[in-house]
Amino acid sequence: MALTDAAHSAAQQTAAAVHQAAHQSRPWVERLARLGYAAKGVVYVVIGGLALQAALGPGGKTTDPQGALRTILRQPAGAFLLGIVALGLAGYALWRFAQAFLDAENKGRDAKGVVKRIGYGLSGIAYTGLAVTAIGLIRGTAGAGASSGASTQDWTARFLAHPLGPWLVALTGAVVIAIGVNSLYVAATAKFMKKLGTAQMQPRERKAAEWVGRIGLAARGIVSGILGGFLIYAALRSDPNEARGLAGAWKVLAQQPFGSWLLALVALGFVAYGIYAFFEARYRRVALPA
């Protein structure tokens, strides 16, 4: 009983220390979060812009976030620009962890809130990895050929090696599809506008933010559905090579009837989502709990 009380007391003290540290660092966390939304916007605009070029003619290519970082690095003063993006991605990851562990979005502790917060934490891990990749590219230590597709196949292969692996991979695919469906729902209802400080925006800005948000989230929903389908197909065939990343999704779109037009539309959607992220950088409500 004494051990239980001691553990509970230690947990309370740790939580209090975390909240105190968060309160003291609040201005920096909020600034980094806004820089993070801007960096996220840059990545999406680059991905969508390259895919749009590929759809319309020579000069572009379909790529993923890692490929977008390499494209930034190849620009004039690329290392400096990528350094700023890396800092922004790290800031965005920090904000995601604040949403997950400090409940910065007030999601609560019920089942729905916990699922949301777990999603924020997983997003934080993903953006931490992307920031690390950016730093590795600047230092010349990141693999030149690494891609999200290769990493997806790696972890899929590890899961499939276990007895329950195919079920876990299929479940993951179903979750990714559900995320895509939710993105389409949020795009249709424009619920994302509730997260912006619309009172500070001009009417034209509100309208522009709503439309680029709708188009961008719809494009993300379509791509999430394709990625989830890849995972389910990989589980059914017990073949990790069937699991693909964003570059694979672009390829599937291009192979459909009127593929170039379809690819161009979704690519425009990614550019639109990047622009919406710029609106978030300026107007999103970003605040740590008191």
Top-confidence residue, 27 or 190: 190
pLDDT tens across 60-116, in order? 788 889 899 999 999 999 999 999 999 999 999 999 998 888 888 888 888 888 888
DSSP-based three-state secondary structure for 81 = helix
CB-facing half-sphere around the CA of 51: CA atoms within 13 A:
36
pLDDT tens across 111-134, in order? 888 888 888 988 999 899 999 999
Percentages (nearest 5) of helix, strand, coil residues in the chain: 80, 0, 20
Mean pLDDT for the stretch of residues 54-62:
79
Mean pLDDT for the stretch of residues 229-256:
89
Q: Where are the domains of the chain?
A: 27-283
Residues of the chain with pLDDT > 70: what percent?
A: 87
Burial state string for 175-197 with b = 16 or more CB within 10 A and e = fewer than 16? ebbebbeebbebbeeeebbeebe
DSSP-based three-state secondary structure for 63 = coil
